[in-house]
Amino acid sequence: MTAIHNVGHTPSNSISTPFVELRQSLTSRAADIAPFVDQLIRFIRFFMEKGGTAKEAEDAIEIAINEALANAVIHGNHGNQEKQVHVACRCSMDADVLISVRGKGEGLDSRVVPDPTEAQRLLLTHGRGIHLMRALMDEVSFEESGTVFLNAKTN
């Protein structure tokens, strides 16, 4: 179910910036991630184009969203199709993007996730998602509840 949830203003320090927020949920199936991300990127692209944002920023956001959703579906919800992953995407009129991804898992302590750039981990086929999110986004934060926040300041 797709719906524009809120149209209004969000505080940015002492100045208010208009934004639009989209809230969606998806079933915890890995096969549902790509079509979900395609739809979300179309929403984001509309606001990024208005702000004159480069294609590289859009690509970075797309990769980070894919990684966050994969973590929520696979690691948080363990692929349990009875559990949902909830996504909120807030695009400000100045092309900043804030995305939250929340699964039903227990969450994680992102400080203890192994560094995938260590020599003994370079050939592993997994374990790079959080590293990629941090490298591609301006800000990434995790809550104990399992929610990850991705923030791209595209201007």
Q: How many structural domains compose the chain?
A: 1
Partners of 7 in the beta sheet?
20
Which amino acid would we find at residue 111?
A: R
DSSP class of residue 120 equals: G
Domain that holds residue 64: 2-153
Query: pTM here?
Result: 0.83
Looking at residue 63, its pLDDT comes to 96
Which two three-digit tokens encode residue 139?
A: 């800000």
Could you list the pLDDT tens digit for every one of the 155 residues in the chain?
333 333 333 334 335 678 899 999 999 999 999 999 999 999 998 877 765 667 788 899 999 999 999 999 999 999 999 999 999 999 987 778 999 999 987 777 777 788 888 888 888 778 889 999 999 999 999 887 778 999 998 76
Task: Provide the CATH number for the domain around residue 61.
Answer: 3.30.565.10
**Rounded to a whole number, what is the distance in angstroms from the first to the last CA of the chain?**
30
> 25-57: string of b/e by CB count within 10 Å (b at 16+)?
ebbbeeeebeebbeebbebbbebbeebebeeeb
Say whether 46 sits in a helix, a strand or coil: helix
